[in-house]
Structure 1
Amino acid sequence: MSSEPPSQSSSEIPADVPTVLVHDSRGRQLLCFLEQLIPLDGHDYVLLTPVDTPVCLFRLDGDEDPELIDTIDATEPILSVADVVLQEHDLTLVRSAVTLTVSGELDEPEPDELDDDEDADDDSETYELLVSFLVDDLEYGLYIPLDPFFVVARMNGDGALLVEGEEFERVQPRIEAELEEREGDD
């Protein structure tokens, strides 16, 4: 009998996939997989995907559509409650650059559960509920985006700086054009 360790968890990094540590303007970090390298204006820009699972926080209000909370302070009490709920599932909420992420072993959704449902609204097609919880009698949910979550950064030594604001507005269309041209060459 073999005494091999159990299979890798989703938070372990495969050895053959390059990773980059991204920093934002507030000093927060996010470890990402390197997807594409795009040279522009003498800088190396990179298209990245987070190693841990990105999540979005929504306020849930009965029959109303979930409301995305896109700016939240890292010390917000809502996130403390989310921490406790996630720990019950052996998951950890990480307050990283760009987005909140969850590290730990996540169950993969069943492919037949993701089939197009004509009655589903737009949010349910692009997000999957991970956990929901109550804070001060209000319901919140952490959702996993089903569409790929990309991060644009500029290489800086061994790491990268998140591309934000005016720089993002300037380079984003050029990066998209470069990626479309690369896809056309395949």
Structure 2
Amino acid sequence: MRDSASGSSDVPTVLVRDSDGRDLLCFLEQLIRLDGTDYVLLTPVDTPVSLFRLQDDADPEPIITLNSSEPILSVADVVLQEHDLTLVRSAVTLTVSGELDEPDPDELEDEDDDDGDEDSETFELLVSFMVEEQEFGLYIPLDPFFVVARMVDGQAELVEGEDFDLIQPRLEAELEEREWPE
């Protein structure tokens, strides 16, 4: 993982903006040219997190749509501040800035369920908290979190919705051809 705090990373960064005007600072991982347009594959500089509703005896339920002024996020802000972390309402995803402990890969292998579902994402709980008698958790995805953007006049524009659905298979095919990542 890159050490963005010390500035020792030589990987260029790109600021990507979504259709709502929110920004996300990312590392530039790959540049892919398709039909005369430059697309970039990016990873967030800050740690991406996902919000889940936690319920007894049930799998955590992801919360997909969330207004950035939601009371849940205000409580998450306070809980994260206790750990010297900051919740950022950025483009594409929520992120957390600050020093996070790296997960131990040996522990993660022991915790994996052998249910054969290779499509399910794996997450690690960062913090949990209560809001109006309901428990929530912020989880870090353990799989790489990629963002796709289109370069237009030197600016990175997030590829969203139908545009993403159309371009994703072509980008994946190009990456497979390049054999990245292994």
**With structure 1 as the length reference, what TM-score do the two structures score?**
0.88
> What CA RMSD, in Å, does the superposition of the two structures yield over aligned residues?
2.3
Contact kept in structure 1, 2:121 and 2:141, CA below 8 Å: no
Alignment of 1:53-92 (within 5 A): 53-92=47-86
Structure 2 segments unaligned to the other structure (5+ residues): none
Q: Which moved more, 1:117-126 or 1:146-155?
A: 117-126
Where does 1:31-70 land on structure 2 (aligned, <5 Å)?
Answer: 31-70=25-64
Residue 147 (str. 1) matches residue 143 (str. 2): yes
TM-score by length of 2: 0.90
In structure 1, runs of 5+ residues without a counterpart are 1-7
Task: Indicate whether 1:19 and 2:42 are aligned.
Answer: no
Aligned length: 178
Tell which structure's C-alpha radius of gyration is larger. Answer: 1
Could you tell me whether the CA contact under 8 Å between 1:9 and 1:104 is conserved in 2?
Answer: no
Could you tell me which amino acid in structure 2 is paired with residue 173 of structure 1? P
CA 149–109 in structure 1, closer or farther in 2 if over 3 Å, else same: same
**Structure 2 equivalent of residue 5 of structure 1:** none
Given that 1:10 and 1:106 are in contact with CA atoms closer than 8 Å, whether structure 2 keeps it comes out as: no
In the TM superposition, residue 159 of structure 1 has moved relative to its aligned partner by 2.7
Q: CA deviation at 1:167?
A: 1.2
Q: 1:17 to 1:119 in 2, by over 3 A?
A: closer
Shift of 1:11: 4.3
Is the contact made by 1:10 and 1:104 (CA closer than 8 Å) also made in structure 2?
no
Identity %: 75
